[in-house]
Amino acid sequence: MLNKIWAGLIIIGLLFTVGQDIQDEISNTYNNGVIQQISFSYAEDSPQLLTLILDNTQLTATIKTDQIIHIHLDTNSPVHLQNIADANGNKNRLIARITSKNNTQLNLLLPELHWHKLRSVTQAAFDMAKFAVKLAIGLIGIMALWLGLMQIAEKSGLIKSLVIIVQPLLYWLFPNIPKDHPVFGSISMNMAANMLGLGNAATPLGIKAMQQLQSLNTNKDKASDEMCMFLALNTSSVQLLPPVTLIALMGTQVSELIVPIVLATSCSTITAVLVAKTYSRRGAKQDKACNS
Amino acid sequence: MQQLSSLIIPLIILFIVCYGLIKHIAVYEEFVDGAKEGFNIAVNIIPYLVAMLFAIAIFRASGALDFILILLTPLADFLHFPAEVISMGIIRPLTGSGSVGVLAELINSHGEDSIIVKISAVMFGSTETTLYVLAVYFGAIKIKNTSYALQAGLMADFAGFVAAIVVCLWYFS
């Protein structure tokens, strides 16, 4: 499933990109090789500075030599002009060629641009790969901090007393884990952090739980039933307080959303548990069938 | 609300450290002992995270999402819910920063009071970035075969998506 979704994202993305580029080529969005006739007027009596109308937009430009003109762009300029300028190095300066010129009109040839979309998508992929490493490195500090605190809480017996409260629920969710195993401590800490909307505390605690689940796992390459259950619980995120990002975005509005969020998140969590339980039962049945 | 969230973490830290002291734990030594794992975990995660995020980046940058939205709009009309929230439903399991972007965009264009923003915010608040969590959690313990974890996660997301729409339409009507 993961393999298919992963490949699907890449294939759909790239096919769609190529499709748009082909459409751009067919309709010649970037006016490749087309000489455009443009009327212009001199600005402020300067022989170099002029204003011109390109694609229904008024733009200023500077004549550099007889053949070269720099058209000045900003963020409000037509997007395809910005794209052409960007591909040639400077987002705010479009370098075009003048083929001929008289007092009120000039013939302009813009630089060619092919496969623009494909190029920008490739760039996005590279940027994201770099960002992923940055993200992981950034986790080191916060991870170390929470793992350190966890160690104190574990050694002082704090976690054990926390587990007692939620024991019955955890034993039902994870029936195959020995009842006194320390993983229950990490799981309940992770759940607590999730409920309080503390995303960056929940991740290190969850990873700690995953490591302990891995030590119980018989096949180290494949996720165990307990891991799947735990992951499903985390992705559906039981929440009592809204996440910090949402508070930042919505401001005070967020308080009236708490009830709907708790209701919706309960639905998703219950679904997560039911789906995980169903799969694990099905797996257990298959194992039995194989063994007998 | 904002105050409460910013108070919780310092309180937890204070409580853990004090409790350790009361129980005569060598708090500093234990902290360092636990913290040294942090580096290895983060490095383990890198390949998983790169694989996941770059595929998502290609999908996002291609604009395929807009196309999917156009395809799904008739369905939304048929079921009587605003089609704009579908973009949140699709992007939410894929990327955290992307869904923040979508929500900010919706707030910008529809206002905080609109039902579209409310539904999207509830979706945002009630589910997690499934693919990111999957990459990070399984990356940390080097598990490549994720069994049925993704199915369970995505089904939970879908349930949260539907629940957000139904609950908001009922709650805010």
Residues B31, B110 within the same domain: no
Residues B24, B87 within the same domain: no
Mean pLDDT, chain B, integer: 89
Residues B17, B71 within the same domain: no
Q: B60 and A124 in contact by Cβ < 8 A? A: yes
Residues B134, B51 within the same domain: yes
Residues B76, B141 within the same domain: yes
Are the beta carbons of A28 and A116 closer than 8 angstroms? no
Q: Where are the domains of chain A?
A: 31-113, 157-291
- DSSP β-bridge partners for residue A61: A50, A71
Compute the radius of gyration of chain B from its Cα atoms: 20
Nearest-10 Cα torsion for B91, B97, B100, B105: -80
Residues A254 and A193: their CA atoms lie apart, in Å, by 19
Closest chain A C-alpha to B78 CA, distance in angstroms? 22
Q: Using CB atoms within 10 Å of the CB of residue A188, give its burial: 0 to 12 exposed, 13 to 18 middle, 19+ buried.
A: buried
The number of angstroms, rounded, from the C-alpha of A86 to the middle of its chain's C-alpha atoms is: 24
Is the pLDDT confidence value at B28 over 90? yes
Residues B89, B125 within the same domain: yes
Residues B14, B87 within the same domain: no
Closest chain A C-alpha to B149 CA, distance in angstroms? 4
Considering only CB atoms, A206 lies closest to which of B5, B56, B137, namely B137
Best probe of the B interface among A235, A258, A271, by most B CBs < 10 A, is A235
Residues B15, B84 within the same domain: no
The total domain count for chain B is 2
Is the pLDDT confidence value at A2 over 70? yes
The model's pLDDT over A168-209, given as tens digits with 9 standing for 90+, comes to 888 999 998 998 888 998 998 898 888 877 777 888 889 999
- pLDDT, position B69: 87
pLDDT band at A286 (very low <50, low <70, confident <90, very high): confident
Q: B152 and A276 in contact by Cβ < 8 A? A: yes
Please compute the mean of the pLDDT values over residues B22-50 and round it to a whole number: 90
Give B107 or A55, the one with higher predicted confidence. B107
Residues B142, B164 within the same domain: yes
- Cα B81 to Cα A253, B71, B99: the distances in Å are 21, 15, 19
- CB distance from A186 to chain B under 8 Å? no
The model's pLDDT over A211-258, given as tens digits with 9 standing for 90+, comes to 999 999 988 889 999 999 999 999 887 777 777 778 778 877 788 888
Considering only CB atoms, A235 lies closest to which of B13, B63, B127, namely B127
Kindly list the residues from chain B whose CB atom is less than 8 angstroms away from the CB atom of residue A213.
Answer: 141
- CB distance from B69 to chain A under 8 Å? no
**Domain around B17:** 1-35
Is the pLDDT confidence value at B136 over 60? yes
ipTM: 0.87
pLDDT band at A283 (very low <50, low <70, confident <90, very high): confident
Residues B61, B142 within the same domain: yes
- pLDDT, position B3: 64
The model's pLDDT over A87-118, given as tens digits with 9 standing for 90+, comes to 888 888 888 888 888 777 888 888 888 888 99
Residues A159 and B131: their CA atoms lie apart, in Å, by 29
Residues B93 and B124: their CA atoms lie apart, in Å, by 9
Residues B69, B113 within the same domain: yes
